[in-house]
Amino acid sequence: MVPFDSPHADGVSALARAEGWPTFSDPDRVRRLFAAPGVVGLVAVHHVDVVGAAHLLTDGHHGYLTFLAVSAGRRRDGIGRRLVEEAFEATGAERIDLLSTPEAEPFYRRLPHREMPGFRVFPEWMRPHLGPGL
């Protein structure tokens, strides 16, 4: 586990593309987002390959996990758990909030947690792109 550095951007974006997550799929955007104020970025590197990454927003007391991904071939190796543990250490946060996909819920349920409902709110101009039900 190491702090994010610019050369890791290609590996982080490859993880995002493998999950179908557009926000972090462009290496240039990854560099900007991981360098933004109030961000802690961590990567798990095996040899030279990025096998996991975490992106957190923090005020030094609370954290919000915006991105956690581990390459499919390295899941269940403890990388995701270590990224979360390192995030707590790096931020000093007393809690980390997040949204999850249904597929990732079993992972988060293995961590000390409290489940709460959540929403992802978008600007009005996104309404036509969000599909039925809006």
Q: What is the pLDDT along the chain (134 residues), one digit of tens a residue?
A: 999 999 999 999 999 999 999 999 999 999 999 999 999 999 999 999 999 999 999 998 999 999 999 999 999 999 999 999 999 999 999 999 999 989 999 999 999 999 999 888 889 888 888 876 55
Give the up-direction half-sphere exposure of residue 101: CA atoms within 13 A in the CB hemisphere.
9
Which residues 6+ apart lie within 8 Å of 14 measured at CB? Answer: 50
The DSSP letter of residue 77 is S
- The neighbour count for residue 84, using CB atoms within 10 Å, is 21
Q: Quick one: pLDDT at residue 83?
A: 98
Name the strand (E) or helix (H) holding 14. helix 9-19
d(CA 23, CA 80): 19
What is the pLDDT of the chain when averaged over all its residues? 93
Domains and CATH numbers, the chain: 2-129 (3.40.630.30)
Q: Quick one: pLDDT at residue 127?
A: 83
